[in-house]
Structure 1
Amino acid sequence: MKTVDLEYYADQFLKRHFNIPLSIPIRISGRMTSKLGAFKIQYQGRKMVSSEIVMSANFIHNNHTDTILDVLYHECVHYALFSLGRPFRDSDKEFISTLKSLGISETKTYQYKGITHLYACSRCNYQFTKNMKGYEKRYRCRYCQKRFVYKGTIHSSPHPEYH
């Protein structure tokens, strides 16, 4: 799915359910690994200077269209409620009730699928995975304080035919 497709679906959704057009950009980020999608607001001091919806490229590549649209619509609800001056955060009751009334999933509904990176301790062989690369450069083992060694990638995809 491409940015133009996401913008089309988001605009149709917002017009249908909130009677507002999509007036912010949607960006697909190859760097976003800890979140599937986000409604981002940038402030300069107390003044809002820009906002956007960002979707994870890895998430888009490794999930079905209905899952991608569910996350996109979740971010659209954040945007719509913010635009209307209503409570828009994940923990706000109005936000949660709006999601439920529209049949959209709440935050942390979907598990991460895609490329993960395997690390191991160079001394005690403690192993773990992270969605980010470069973890071994910044952190040490909590058990023996030695540096981690990067072991490679692991791929979990609902679309094995794509790879």
Structure 2
Amino acid sequence: MNAEQLHNTADKFLLENFNLRLEIPLRISKRMKSKLGAFQIKMRDGKVISQEIVMSHTFIEHNDESAVIDVLFHECVHYALYTKRKPYRDSDSEFNETLDRLGISKTRTYQYKGESHLYECRTCGYQFTKRVKGYNKRYICRHCRGKFIYKGAVKT
């Protein structure tokens, strides 16, 4: 799905369920690795300067359409409740009740699928994967305090 298709799907969902139009940008980010989607509000001096819904390109590429739409609708509920000046955070009971009423999944329902990077400790051989590249340049091993080497990309 591309950004225009996602925007149209979100707009239709918001109109049917909240009588709202999606009046903010919807962007697909290739840099977003730790989140699947996000409703972002940027503020300066206590005033909102921008809002947008951002979806992870990796998530869209490696998951089926129903999972992508479920995450998109989750972010739309954040947007709709925020717009209607109601509690919109994941921890708010009204937000969770709205998700339940609409049959939308809660946060952390889906596992990350995509490319991860394998690292190994030079000293003790401890191996692990991370979604970001360059981990070996900033961190040391928690077991022996050795340095990591990058072993390559792996599919998860």
Do they superpose with TM above 0.5?
Answer: yes
Give the C-alpha shift of residue 44 in structure 1: 0.5
User: What residue is the counterpart of 2:138 in the other structure?
Assistant: 138
- Taking the aligned partners of 2:103 and 2:59, their CA distance within structure 1 comes to 21
Which structure 1 residue ranges, 5 or more long, are not aligned?
157-163
1:60-139 → structure 2 map (5 Å cutoff): 60-139=60-139
Which structure 2 residue ranges, 5 or more long, are not aligned?
none
TM-score by length of 1: 0.94
Please list every run of at least 4 consecutive aligned residues from structure 1 whose deviation after the TM superposition is greater than 3 angstroms: none
The 3-state SS of whatever aligns with 2:21 is: coil
Alignment partner of 1:37 is 2:37: yes
**Equivalent residue letter for 2:73:** Y
- Taking the aligned partners of 1:103 and 1:25, their CA distance within structure 2 comes to 24
- Taking the aligned partners of 2:147 and 2:9, their CA distance within structure 1 comes to 45
User: What residue is the counterpart of 1:49 in the other structure?
Assistant: 49
Give the C-alpha shift of residue 143 in structure 1: 1.2
**Equivalent residue letter for 1:134:** G
**How well do the aligned residues superpose, as a CA RMSD in angstroms?**
0.6
**Equivalent residue letter for 2:35:** K
User: What residue is the counterpart of 1:7 in the other structure?
Assistant: 7
Give the C-alpha shift of residue 93 in structure 1: 0.0
Deviations 1:57-114 (A, max 9, x none): 0000000000000000000000000000000000000000000000000000000000
The 3-state SS of whatever aligns with 2:117 is: strand
Deviations 1:21-73 (A, max 9, x none): 00000100000000000000000121110010000000000000000000000
